[in-house]
Amino acid sequence: MRQFFYFSKSHTVCDQLTWSHYRKLLTIKDNNKINYYIKLIIDESLSVRQLIQRINSKEYERLDDKTKEKLISSNETSVVDFIKNPIVIKNNTDKEIISEKVLQKVILEDIPAFLKELDNGFSFIGNEYKIKIGNRYNYIDLLLYNIEFNCYVVVELKVTELKKEHIGGIEVYMNYIDKTLRKVTQDKTIGIIICKKDNKFIMEYCSDSRILAREYKEI
């Protein structure tokens, strides 16, 4: 109780949090991390079990340092800020991920978990989304929509290290969606390349801030 008293002087005490929530939060030493999970509990009505799962997945640690700074300073965030790195993908199949097709199948086996891993507000539109560029058909691995930020999201899957040609490819798809699907009331399309290994040198020279790369971690 003494520990809780000092805790309540530094953090929001809310009737949406049970004593079991607080017992778990009291084990965390980082105040910024505590504030992050308190907001999650309130915004998403997390049960204690769900809170423990989110903490055990190291969700806060997988946020970008710039995102953490925004949270500390209460600055405005964007759709890409809360997409974790690495992205945890649950493999409930008996297949080993050795190709983009297999990776896509594993994701589609539990698409709600994958969308939740990205963040709130993501909805699934389709996989192998067919588009026509010139006289050729192309297929977007996953096409999503973020309701909260009002924009389409193109997701490309790679089981290799990020390469410079991956950037060019997803940029073409993003521009296509912007020109053919996006309405004037919607924000510009963003792109997420989910790859086996990130290449920060390539991303350093990527001039399009709407594109981000994230490694995946299979569990």
Same domain for 184 and 120, yes or no, is yes
**Per-residue pLDDT for 120 more than 90?**
no
Same domain for 99 and 35, yes or no, is no
Q: Is residue 200 part of a domain?
A: yes
The pLDDT value given to residue 1: 67
Same domain for 93 and 195, yes or no, is yes
Q: Is residue 173 part of a domain?
A: yes
Q: Is residue 209 part of a domain?
A: yes
Instruction: List, in order, residues 6 or more apart from 167 with CB less than 8 Å away.
Output: 193, 202, 206, 208, 211
Same domain for 46 and 9, yes or no, is yes
Q: What average pLDDT does this structure show over 187-212? A: 91
The pLDDT value given to residue 55: 96
Q: Is residue 206 part of a domain?
A: yes
The pLDDT value given to residue 16: 76
Q: Is residue 82 part of a domain?
A: no
Q: Note whether 48 and 28 are within 8 A (CB).
A: no
Number of domains in the chain: 2
Instruction: List, in order, residues 6 or more apart from 109 with CB less than 8 Å away.
Output: 92, 93
Does this model's pTM top 0.85? yes
Q: What average pLDDT does this structure show over 66-72? A: 93
The pLDDT value given to residue 204: 84
The pLDDT value given to residue 67: 94
Same domain for 54 and 106, yes or no, is no
The pLDDT value given to residue 136: 94
Same domain for 213 and 153, yes or no, is yes
Same domain for 107 and 57, yes or no, is no
Same domain for 116 and 190, yes or no, is yes
Q: What average pLDDT does this structure show over 119-138? A: 95
Range of the domain at 15: 2-61
Q: Is residue 80 part of a domain?
A: no
Confidence class for position 96, pLDDT limits 50, 70, 90: confident
Confidence class for position 87, pLDDT limits 50, 70, 90: very high
The pLDDT value given to residue 199: 87
Q: Is residue 71 part of a domain?
A: no
Share of the chain above pLDDT 70, in %: 94
Q: Map the chain to HEC letters.
A: CHHHHHHHHHCCCCCCCCHHHHHHHCCCCCHHHHHHHHHHHHHHCCCHHHHHHHHHCCCCCCCCHHHHHHHHHCCCCCCCCCCCCCEEECCCCCCCCCCHHHHHHHHHHCHHHHHHHHCCCEEEEEEEEEEEECCEEEEEEEEEEECCCCEEEEEEECCCECCHHHHHHHHHHHHHHHHHCCCCCCCCCEEEEEECECCHHHHHCCCCCCEEEEEEEEC
Same domain for 55 and 92, yes or no, is no
Residue 71 token pair: 């949270």
Confidence class for position 213, pLDDT limits 50, 70, 90: very high
Q: What is the pLDDT of residues 158-190, one digit of tens each?
A: 999 999 999 999 999 999 999 999 999 999 999
- Which of 61, 95, 112 corresponds to the end of one domain? 61
The pLDDT value given to residue 11: 67
Same domain for 113 and 206, yes or no, is yes
Q: What is the pLDDT of residues 18-36, one digit of tens each?
A: 889 988 998 998 989 999 9
- Which of 61, 77, 97 corresponds to the end of one domain? 61
Q: Map 103-159 to HEC letters.
A: HHHHHHHCHHHHHHHHCCCEEEEEEEEEEEECCEEEEEEEEEEECCCCEEEEEEECC
Same domain for 114 and 20, yes or no, is no
Q: Is residue 180 part of a domain?
A: yes
> CA 111 from chain center: how many Å?
13
